[in-house]
Amino acid sequence: MENSPRKGFWEAMNSLDRRIIFLILLVCVAVPLLLNVGAPIPPTPPVQLAYDAVESLEAGDVMMVSIDFDATSAPELMPMLHSALRHAFSKDVRVVMLGHIAIGLPLGHMALEEIAAEYDKEYGVDYVDLGYRPGYIAVMIAMGRDISDIFASDYQGTPLAELPVMTGVRSYNDIELLFGFEHGAVIDYWVRYTQARFGQRMTFGTTAVMAPDAYPYLQAGQIEGLVGGLKGAAEYENLIGHLGLGTRGMPAQQWAHLLVIGFIVLGNLGYFFTRRKG
Amino acid sequence: MKRSVPLIITFLTGFFLVVAFFVPHEPFGELEQRLLVWFAIVSGFTMLLGIDNLIRSHARRIARTNTGWGHSIVLLMGLVVTVVVGVIGFSRLGSPFHIHSPFMFVYTHVIVPLQGTMFALLAFFIASASYRAFRARNTVATLLLISALIVMLGRIPIGAAISDFFPAAQEWIMDVPQLAAKRGIQIGAALGAVSMSLRIILGIERSYLS
Amino acid sequence: MDSMGMIIGTWLAGFLTLAILSFLYKDNPFYKLAEHLYVGVSAGYWLIYVAFFDIKPMLIDTFMSETGFEKWIILIPGALGLIMLSRWFPKIAWLSRWPIAFTVGIGAGLGITANLQGYVLPQVQATILPLTGFTVADLSNLILIIGVVTTLMYFYFSKPHKGLLGGGAKIGIVFIMVSFGASFGYTLMARISLLIGRLYFLFHDLLRILD
Amino acid sequence: MGHRRLVATLVFLGVLALVGGSVAARPLEEGTSAPCACSVSANDVPDDGGGAISVSWDLATTDASPSVTRFEILRYATGEEPVSIGEVLSTNTDFQDVNADGGTIYQYIVRTHTRDGFIDSVPSDAALATAQWFAHGRAPSLIALILVCGSIIFFIIRAKGGAELFIRKIPGLDAVDDAVGRATEMGRPVLYVPGIETVSEVGTLAALTILGHVAKKVAQHGTPLLVPTADPIVMTTAQEIVKQAYAEVGQSDRFDPSSVFYLTYDQFGYTAGVDGIMVRERPEAVFLLGYFAAESLILAETAHEIGAIQISGTKETSQLPFFVAACDYTLIGEEIFAASSYLSHEPIMLGSLKGQDLIKIGIVYLIVTLVIAGSIGYAISPDGTSTLSRAVEAAALWLTGS
């Protein structure tokens, strides 16, 4: 029995060169991406809650958008940002953008200009980009008192007093909702400082990595909604009825997931057979 | 002097930060803000120490023509060019981070692809890790494996097509057992962090001063 | 339409993308080149970043624009920062412990209150979920409470894990493992998204075979 | 620059003129039935450092309120003329004056602007902005702080007094010595990666404490040690710790300062560098301890590929799954903090660990008691109106000061 071909096969599988795994994965992601098909994804409760939070805003309310990611997480967070901005602008909500990852802000700004143009919104009147100030905790705490303490001007140096969009917007008191886009620990600071100290309403779009960590905040009611990963982005796109890159990436996701599931099953079969016979 | 002054500095900084949290009255209320700015400034200077160490060690490699000294030249060239274009961007456009600054060219076409691709390696490593590491060795490992499988299936459209069970189970696992354990771990870790912070402020934990 | 700079930049980015990906096959000269370039360029990047987003606005601009107390007090962190550089002179290198002590003190001071107010208290509060009847939601709540409590028991260090504590800790590790499996499965999507992002760059920006 | 500001100012004025009609605003006639702000109240903002007064008001007639375009807030000190200090949208019914002078008593008037003109409210009562010495909303945090710190300090004192304290086995830590031993036998280096954060992150400090222990072992055996760092302060501190460790075992002359070095602050630049070191230097033991983000799995998988023993640990719950899956041993969450106590077996450390444990068990009892009490309350009256249910709810809410 010891040298049966079946055992030999599984032993070979157990010591499979991982480069073969890499190659199969590459094919599984690249091919669906090139075929370019995607179908709407039904929403799950956390995404629905995030949507509802934005939906609860009225025309003229202020939504603060925080860009807390950089290019590395853009594939996941950009589609969400687009959807959230579309949602806000379609309801005539004022958008105030800022960010805690300096280098991500140009990305956020480009998205803001792009979506604002779709809805004929005017810079300074309907939306503004405050830009970046160093020291995220310091910035968050200062805004609880007076936004103009820390952001005397917008990203290109125009004083806030000259921007109609900032009329009556002085502190968190005047911001109906914070929508943060997070790829790291900044979300913890938003919750542990801004929410805990000022009771700010907030909802987040996060990378799929950060999402599980944000679930306790959601359950505790510290945050109102959660859009997690590319699937969350696809769900949000479905909710606002405007499909984009989130939905488009889902077929590749599907195949990659099935492949990894296959690998786990195969790995376990190999483990099972070689252990029993060995 | 060599040990007691740092211990006093740590004690005062930590202690006043805690006091400032509870006392809004001047001068405490604004102290937290001020100290955070100071912290950022002090951290900024330390960057020079790191750069100095990097340059010295690679200059040494080049001088001794150790193995890989050619790569050290590439490293130092990259460093110098980046700093130079940053300064050019500042002097010409007022900020190295201006959209037309040559510094942003380096950022967009060198740093972003390198960063993004290093990050994308994870897709491959997660596949190889799941092939070799997710083995049903015992009950606990089996549970880990099953919950991973359910969540993966619940996250993709085909899971919902097979059965409504998968997306629902995925949400439930994330909402209940996943959340419970995360909360337990984090409460423990938070207490550990508080305790460590307290020992530091009181000068009991002083490994950072050895 | 595209400027020469754009084209060169895109090809440079394409080359570096492939150089890093080649590490998956094995360590090779292209990866070594990209790796060393990356370490050098990013070190330079952070130096510029710190100079223009940190030292300049916080220290230099504050000193230049403020008057009176605010102008002079900002020199304290400036001095602490300079003292940090005493590492360059072995005889006074011990002075660098002062700014390090300050940095550590900040972390410790903030850590205490932020962890208690921002995490422990609200999370304990959110676990106080009285059972209101015999519904599915109540069952879920009960499981949630058991999960939190037993996980905490697992992290009980100062008694042997026997008896009630041992039983609780055993259940706790079950929750922990289910949680890790779930996170792993959930995270897969993030990792694949990144690969999609890079492939999209290669297909769309570099090769232009995807619209 | 100048003309941009001019344009912005013009746009602003234009919008004001359109929205509020403020340029042409005039007082409304007496008896006009427009909705307006009434019962204006002004109160000191509690629990702050002074300088802030909150103003709030009601709307007289709610059904006609859409015709309100905005509210303007005017302020005056006794004997002075009212001045406009800000305005809010018609949907708001409150305003925070954050520029109140601490010594001055103010009164506020809310001016309701409608399409036809404006109408002023009756002045509010006098208000004075005061600073408080204690933020009352943070009382629960203070009590928690006293309990946690008190418990830890109590057990530290007891431990110093010679009380015997037990600590359970932590599997990952026992493997530390084995890993160093194996590297020594194979004549290969030990790679110690202290995470990507600076020393103000307590996880990093925990990692540095464990580094001290590893460095001592390494110094005893003469095994080569590599410590690449992503933060200059961590580098500085690690250099001192390793040097000290060599000195303590009498091997000062064997300490190589260049074994602790800086790569880059950039997360993935650092990762690329450490990966390169792994495949070229082929360490036999790899320690990944401290604060980690996405790089955790890249480092762990590369370490596995070169066949090294991996011992990992972090309090970042988002990265723990990868360490647990890919590494030989993992310190989970609080275990990394407990590590310094375990390795040193110093009474002070053990005492503080005991103090933490007491709080943990306290939290367990608190949760269980309140849940049981609340459930009994629901059993008494299922709609949750029983005194017991309400008391539990109030107790839970109190925890977050709400």
Which range has the worst mean pLDDT, D162-171, D173-182, D231-240? D162-171
Answer yes or no: do A260 and A128 share one domain: no
Average pLDDT, consecutive stretches of 10 residues, N- to C-terminus, chain A (278 residues): 67 82 94 85 93 94 94 89 97 95 81 93 94 78 83 80 89 92 89 83 92 85 92 95 89 93 90 71
Range of the domain at A181: 45-242
Angle separating helix axes B179-201 and D347-380, nearest 10 degrees: 140
Pairing of strands A127-132, D127-128: unpaired
- Which chain C positions have a beta carbon within 8 Å of B46's beta carbon? 81, 84, 99
- Which chain A positions have a beta carbon within 8 Å of B178's beta carbon? 212, 215
- Which chain C positions have a beta carbon within 8 Å of A29's beta carbon? 192, 195-196, 199
Q: What is the average pLDDT across D289-304? A: 93
**What distance in Å separates the CA atoms of residue C177 and residue B145, rounded to the nearest whole number?**
9
Pairing of strands D94-97, D53-59: antiparallel
B103-119 confidence digits (pLDDT tens): 888 988 998 899 889 98
Answer yes or no: do D152 and D204 share one domain: no
In chain D, pLDDT over 70 holds for what percent of residues? 87
Is A247 domain-assigned?
no
Answer yes or no: do A27 and A148 share one domain: no
Whether A72 sits inside 8 A of D1 (CB atoms) is no
pLDDT at res. A72: 80
- Which chain D positions have a beta carbon within 8 Å of B200's beta carbon? 202, 205
Which range has the worst mean pLDDT, A140-144, B129-133, B151-155, D25-29? D25-29
Whether B107 sits inside 8 A of A253 (CB atoms) is no
Answer yes or no: do A229 and A259 share one domain: no
**What distance in Å separates the CA atoms of residue C86 and residue C92, rounded to the nearest whole number?**
6
CB D289 within 8 A of CB D176: no
Pairing of strands D53-59, D37-44: antiparallel
Answer yes or no: do A160 and A193 share one domain: yes
Measure in Å the smallest separation between the Cα of C147 and chain B Cα atoms.
5
Answer yes or no: do A138 and A264 share one domain: no
Answer yes or no: do A33 and A49 share one domain: no
> Tell me, what CATH number does A194's domain have?
3.40.50
Is D70 domain-assigned?
yes
Residue D29 — left, alpha, or beta (φ > 0 → left; ψ -120 to 50 → alpha)?
beta
**What distance in Å separates the CA atoms of residue C94 and residue C119, rounded to the nearest whole number?**
37
Nearest to B178 among A212, A229, A264 (CB): A212
CB A247 within 8 A of CB A40: yes
Answer yes or no: do A90 and A15 share one domain: no
Measure in Å the smallest separation between the Cα of B203 and chain C Cα atoms.
10
Is D8 domain-assigned?
no
pLDDT at res. D17: 44
Range of the domain at D283: 172-344
- Which chain B positions have a beta carbon within 8 Å of D355's beta carbon? 195
Q: Tell which residue, D335, B200, A1, B172, has the closest CA to residue C111.
A: B200
**What distance in Å separates the CA atoms of residue D262 and residue C83, rounded to the nearest whole number?**
19
Domain count along chain D: 3
Size of the A and B interface in Cβ pairs below 8 Å: 112
- Mean pLDDT (chain B) is 89
Q: With 50 as the cut, is the pLDDT of residue D108 above it?
A: yes
pLDDT band at D350 (very low <50, low <70, confident <90, very high): confident
Contact status of C140 with chain A (Cβ, < 8 Å): no
pLDDT at res. D23: 39
Intervals of chain C under pLDDT 50: 1
Size of the A and C interface in Cβ pairs below 8 Å: 105
Domain residue ranges in chain B: 1-64, 67-122, 134-210
Q: For residue C26, which amino acid is it? A: K
Q: With 90 as the cut, is the pLDDT of residue D266 above it?
A: no
Contact status of B3 with chain D (Cβ, < 8 Å): no
Nearest to C190 among A76, A216, A222 (CB): A76
Local structure of A65: helix, strand or coil = strand
Answer yes or no: do A256 and A177 share one domain: no
D118-133 confidence digits (pLDDT tens): 888 888 888 888 888 8
pLDDT at res. D7: 54
Answer yes or no: do A228 and A262 share one domain: no
**What distance in Å separates the CA atoms of residue B100 and residue D108, rounded to the nearest whole number?**
49
Answer yes or no: do D203 and D298 share one domain: yes
The residue that leads in pLDDT, D226 or A146, is D226
Answer yes or no: do D264 and D333 share one domain: yes
The residue that leads in pLDDT, D56 or A225, is A225
Contact status of D142 with chain B (Cβ, < 8 Å): yes
Q: What is the average pLDDT across D143-165? A: 90
Q: With 90 as the cut, is the pLDDT of residue D91 above it?
A: no
Q: With 50 as the cut, is the pLDDT of residue D21 above it?
A: no
CB B178 within 8 A of CB C100: no
Q: Which chains touch D (3 or more CB pairs under 8 A)?
A: A, B, C
**What distance in Å separates the CA atoms of residue B116 and residue C47, rounded to the nearest whole number?**
20
pLDDT at res. D310: 95
**What distance in Å separates the CA atoms of residue B45 and residue B54, rounded to the nearest whole number?**
15
pLDDT at res. D18: 45
Domain count along chain A: 2
Measure in Å the smallest separation between the Cα of A229 and chain B Cα atoms.
10
Contact status of C22 with chain B (Cβ, < 8 Å): no
Q: What is the dihedral of CA A38, A40, A45, A50, to 10 degrees?
A: 90
Whether B185 sits inside 8 A of D320 (CB atoms) is yes
Q: Which residue of D has its CA nearest to C122?
A: D400
The first and second tokens of residue C109, run together, are 């001071």
pLDDT at res. A145: 79
Answer yes or no: do A177 and A264 share one domain: no
Across the beta sheet with D94-97, what order do the strands follow?
Answer: D37-44, D53-59, D94-97
**What distance in Å separates the CA atoms of residue C87 and residue A105, rounded to the nearest whole number?**
35
Answer yes or no: do A54 and A26 share one domain: no
Answer yes or no: do D250 and D383 share one domain: no
Answer yes or no: do D100 and D75 share one domain: yes
Q: Which residue of D has its CA nearest to C194?
A: D294
Taking only residues 122 to 141 of chain B, the set having a beta carbon closer than 8 angstroms to any beta carbon of chain A reads: 123-124, 126-128, 130-132, 134-137
HSE-CB of A23 using CA atoms within 13 angstroms: 6
- Which chain D positions have a beta carbon within 8 Å of C155's beta carbon? 333-335, 360
**What distance in Å separates the CA atoms of residue A78 and residue A84, rounded to the nearest whole number?**
10
The first and second tokens of residue A57, run together, are 């805003």
ipTM, 2 dp: 0.86
The residue that leads in pLDDT, B73 or D160, is B73
Cis peptide preceding B27, ω within 30 of 0: yes
- Which chain C positions have a beta carbon within 8 Å of B74's beta carbon? 33, 36-37, 40
- Which chain D positions have a beta carbon within 8 Å of A168's beta carbon? 70, 86-89, 92
Answer yes or no: do A84 and A159 share one domain: yes
Nearest to A254 among B123, B157, B182 (CB): B157
